[in-house]
Amino acid sequence: DGGITQSPKYLFRKEGQNVTLSCEQNLNHDAMYWYRQDPGQGLRLIYYSQIVNDFQKGDIAEGYSVSREKKESFPLTVTSAQKNPTAFYLCASSQAANTEAFFGQGTRLTVV
């Protein structure tokens, strides 16, 4: 099956710990994105990558880091510097920038 896979679905983290969210796609898409979704708000862009080994900050990149070593993978690390990390995180991919995006099923991160 072609698609985009996020794991894990639920994640709990203690304050002060870094945690990495996985995102893998087998759609052969060049562009990948990470969004954060909070209740009552639109999705906000954290980081995006339009090609392997290159990525750019989105609107709310502080406290997050990413890598794009392989075309199919775009992991997101939530660092201890992120002040309010509890949220629903969505990964997406598209053939190119600004074409239709396909979303993963999301990871709900809770800081305890």
| 108 to 73, 80, 83, 85, 104: CA distances (angstroms) | 19, 17, 16, 10, 12
Instruction: Report the C-alpha gap between 18 and 6 in whole angstroms.
Output: 18
Decide: is 2 part of the binding site for another protein (CB under 8 A).
Answer: no
Choose, by CB under 8 A, the member of 14, 83, 100, 112 that binds another protein.
100
Among residues 82 and 107, whose Cβ is nearest to another protein? Answer: 107
Q: Which residues, 39 to 78, sit near another protein by CB under 8 A?
A: 40-45, 48, 50, 56, 58-59
Choose, by CB under 8 A, the member of 31, 46, 66, 78 that binds another protein.
31
